[in-house]
């Protein structure tokens, strides 16, 4: 029985599914051992890697580009240990194009994006450059409405080539919302904010947790997640209720709650 090789996948939206078969009773397509979703750029490379590992491959349409990503799939090469394959994080889509130089870098350029009310901006990426390409890369970053700052490489820096980019998870190019806690987003397949606990002055019978959640799929929008646990002892075991709502509905709910509280304490209705 063959084992699944390391596959050249990238995490981008997938539109192709490749099935991998092991031979059985003289038939090349004997048992279905794996199924992998891939993007068009990595379909041929993935098929070749599977064939070189001894599998027969069958390619078919799979995924609409929104639900599956390049690298998602199922590994059933060991029937006793069937594993889900999870795509890696998709590379950041940079707002500029860098030279494909590959010469040793001697300069590191920090790229900052700015927004109203942010004088220092957000450190989004470090771009490495060789001497001949420094001015071109600086101009390219400025043309993308970002601010570049040149930094000399330390003598003990890890070797990098010209055009190498490190995208900071806390920056605007990372694909994470500003409120994301940056914790296991790819495994959970969603971005989550830190949990806000709703506590009163005294110990409350209800435990309420509120947070923001947004799926990692393209085009997803943030939702408000609220979990309420009745720990007041009125039931044999604590009872938990969970709900999610769009942010516009959550804003209306917050306004209605404020109005009811004002009325309860003698304020305006």
What total number of domains does the chain contain?
A: 3
pLDDT tens, residue by residue, 47-63: 999 999 999 999 998 76
Question: What is the structure's pLDDT at 232?
Answer: 60
For residue 91, the model assigns a pLDDT of 62
Nearest to 127 by CA among 242, 61, 263, 142: 142
* pLDDT tens per residue, range 171-184: 777 677 778 887 77
The percentage of the chain sitting over the pLDDT mark of 70, rounded to a whole number, equals 86
Residues 195 and 222 in one domain: yes
The mean predicted confidence, pLDDT, of the chain is 83
Q: Is residue 4 part of a domain?
A: no
In a domain, 100, yes or no: no
Average pLDDT over residues 35-56: 91
Please give the residue range of the domain that contains residue 21. Answer: 16-85
Average pLDDT over residues 121-144: 89
How does DSSP assign 99-125, residue by residue?
A: ----SBP-EEEEEEE--TT-SS-EEEE
pLDDT at 110: 92
Q: Does residue 95 lie within any of the structural domains?
A: no
Cα distance between the two ends of the chain = 72
Q: Are 185 and 191 in contact (CB under 8 A)?
A: yes
Q: What is the pLDDT of residue 263?
A: 87
195 and 260 belong to one structural domain: yes
| Domain end (from 137, 167, 197) | 167
pLDDT at 160: 81
Q: Is residue 5 part of a domain?
A: no
In a domain, 52, yes or no: yes
Residue 32 domain-assigned? Answer: yes
Same domain, 81 and 118: no
- pLDDT score of 41: 80
Determine the pLDDT at residue 225.
Answer: 92
Place of tokens 């709650």: 257
Q: Of 100, 112, 108, which Cα lies nearest the Cα of 131? A: 108
Residue 145 has φ and ψ, to the nearest 5°, of 60, 35
Residue 218 has pLDDT above 90, yes or no: no
Is residue 164 predicted with pLDDT exceeding 70?
yes
Residue 93 located in a structural domain: no
Whether the full predicted model's pTM is greater than 0.85, yes or no, is: no
Report residue 108 as tokens: 């590191």
Q: Is the pLDDT of residue 109 over 70?
A: yes
Residue finishing a domain among 119, 136, 167: 167
pLDDT at position 124: 85
Q: Residues 74-108: pLDDT tens digits? A: 999 998 889 999 887 666 667 777 877 778 889 99
Residue 67 tokens read as 């639900």
């Amino acid at each position: 029985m063959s084992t699944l090789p390391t596959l050249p996948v990238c995490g981008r939206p997938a539109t192709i599914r490749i099935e991998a078969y092991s031979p059985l009773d003289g038939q090349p397509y004997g048992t279905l051992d794996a199924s992998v979703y891939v993007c068009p750029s990595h379909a041929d490379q993935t098929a070749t890697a599977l064939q070189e590992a001894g599998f027969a491959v069958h390619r078919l349409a799979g995924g609409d580009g929104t639900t599956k990503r390049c690298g998602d799939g199922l590994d059933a090469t060991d029937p006793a240990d069937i594993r889900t394959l999870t795509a890696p994080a998709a590379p950041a889509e940079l707002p500029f194009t860098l030279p494909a130089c590959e010469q040793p870098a001697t300069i590191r350029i920090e790229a900052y994006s700015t927004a109203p009310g942010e004088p220092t901006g957000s450190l989004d990426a470090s771009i490495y450059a060789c001497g001949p390409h420094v001015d071109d890369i600086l101009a390219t970053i400025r043309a993308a409405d970002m601010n570049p700052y040149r930094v000399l490489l330390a003598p003990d820096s890890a070797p990098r080539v010209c055009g190498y980019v490190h995208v900071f998870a806390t920056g605007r190019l990372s694909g994470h919302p500003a409120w994301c806690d940056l914790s296991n987003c790819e495994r959970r397949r969603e971005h989550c904010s830190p949990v806000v606990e709703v506590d009163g002055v005294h110990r409350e019978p209800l435990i309420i947790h509120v947070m923001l959640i947004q799926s990692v799929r393209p085009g997803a929008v943030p939702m408000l997640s609220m979990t309420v646990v009745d720990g007041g002892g009125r039931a044999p075991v604590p009872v938990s209720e969970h709900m999610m709502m769009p942010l516009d509905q959550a804003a209306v709910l917050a306004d209605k709650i404020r109005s009811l509280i004002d009325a309860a304490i003698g304020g305006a209705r």
